Structure 1
């Protein structure tokens, strides 16, 4: 199979790096990194250097390119770009994707698959989600800092089983993967964490640990999670009754100095994923008549 990873940042670098280490230079699959600029040059010259909790290594893909013609047709492709780049990336590489290509977005947010279907109507698009804190340290280098390092993907019915071959490919690359027939629940459970935490860390400039240590901010975080829970229920996504308490506990398990990707982007003056996180929650709440005052307040501050 020809497996493409579009976007070799923290997510694409970690999971794509594992695929490249397993298959990039030998084996039944070709691993194609789609990456730009100095990061591309370093990877082409020296490979992708990864620092992870499992160990440090250099991953060499079969091909690293920013050229859609060189990438050719993908059998499987993971979109690992920032949310605001999803549609433009999909259009740029639409010629590399046909009706037989399985497309799995691994972005923050809950509606990436729907957005991709609007751009790639002929592709076989299913949803995916990852739990990881990692980032580009410098061109050619990705460092994993925290998180479960888990990749989950699938559908909302028994059709998920036809993608077991992808699960096997990931497993053989030593990726902690799970194939599920309840992917909407998976997406919203992550969103229950990432939307409130990403929004609140960005608005306050505080780390995971600093927020959990502050009783007022911790209570505000819980209230924001309750807003997400209510919107999910309105969308007919029934999360477990104890989802908020468990997610709040999960937020406390991250390293004290850990920061969200949205927070890091804001600190560095880069475009953020506010539209896929905070804004989407506010808009969907309005659509379904669910009040989201805590998110509304932060969205007004951040936009």
Structure 2
């Protein structure tokens, strides 16, 4: 099996490094960061923290160098997905199937504009790039893959990717309906990431404050209403997951990806998280005033950098 990981920031690197430890999987890591690619080519891709792994994927910034692949895992920021898949679509033109593990909603539709076979994916592991070729693995978790409904693949076509991820140390499952875990994560992220980004607080410290925890619950309620309006039954209660993650032995000190983006003055994924929930809400007639407000606040922070 040959797998191409498109975008080797923190999450993409977790997949690329782990999959590259398997003897029966050839991994290609595509990223635009030349220092990151050079470090991986020279020394391998090293994970530290919750998992100590060094994998040796083929790393490149040249999409023309990537051979045809059986599977793709797109792990860029959501706003970069269109350009990333446009550059690499030829890699999957011979029947390859491409999964998204990006934050937010609407990513499958972006991939489907460029490739025929799309897999709906959601992943919970998280981390951050420490230096070129080295990634800190902050949070472990499971990944779910399933059909993308407009052009659904058979589960048998998805299971080899889930099996490879699991054997590599990234537990994954192939399911008939991948929307419940996807919306569970979207609701989780949209309720916590922007609050951390606006306050500078880690996940655990946000949850310690009753005022902020109440705001988080309000965002969860709105997101759950939007998912319910689509006929989606969540596979777990986001409130319980938020409190679980706040434990010292789980993700108390984790700085959400949106906080990392704000600190680095990078554009955030707000349009695909809170903005995405609000967009679905408008289409379904479900009010989302808190998500609208949070979206406006984060966009205001981004505007302040200009």
Contact 1:196 1:221 in 2 (8 A): yes
Q: Which runs of 4+ in 1 moved over 4 A?
A: none
| CA deviation vs aligned residue, 1:185-237 (integer Å, no higher than 9, x gap) | 11001112011111221222222112111111101100100000001111221
Structure 2 counterpart SS, 1:226: helix
Distance 1:48 1:288 in 2: 44
Cα distance, 1:57–1:99 mapped onto 2, change above 3 Å? closer
Contact 2:245 2:252 in 1 (8 A): no
Aligned to 1:250: 244
**Of residues 25, 46, 49 in structure 1, which corresponds to 2:46?**
49
Aligned to 2:304: none
Structural RMSD (CA): 1.8
Q: CA deviation at 1:125?
A: 0.5
| CA deviation vs aligned residue, 1:276-295 (integer Å, no higher than 9, x gap) | 11211122212222111111
Aligned to 1:264: 260
**Of residues 209, 228, 236 in structure 1, which corresponds to 2:204?**
209
Distance 1:289 1:57 in 2: 47
Q: Does 1:73 align with 2:68?
A: yes
Aligned to 1:143: 136
Number of matched pairs: 293
Gaps in structure 2 of 5+ consecutive residues:
300-306
Aligned to 1:2: 2
Distance 1:225 1:179 in 2: 26
Report 1:125-164 matches (<5 A): 125-146=118-139, 148-155=140-147, 159-164=154-159
Aligned to 2:295: 299
Q: Does 1:190 align with 2:185?
A: yes
Contact 2:193 2:257 in 1 (8 A): yes
Report 1:103-118 matches (<5 A): 103-118=98-113
Distance 2:134 2:254 in 1: 19
Aligned to 2:16: 16
Q: CA deviation at 1:184?
A: 0.5
Contact 1:158 1:181 in 2 (8 A): no
TM-score (norm 1): 0.91
Distance 2:210 2:161 in 1: 43
Contact 2:18 2:53 in 1 (8 A): no
TM-score (norm 2): 0.90
Q: Does 1:40 align with 2:37?
A: yes
Q: CA deviation at 1:244?
A: 4.1
Q: CA deviation at 1:78?
A: 0.5
Report 1:75-114 matches (<5 A): 75-114=70-109
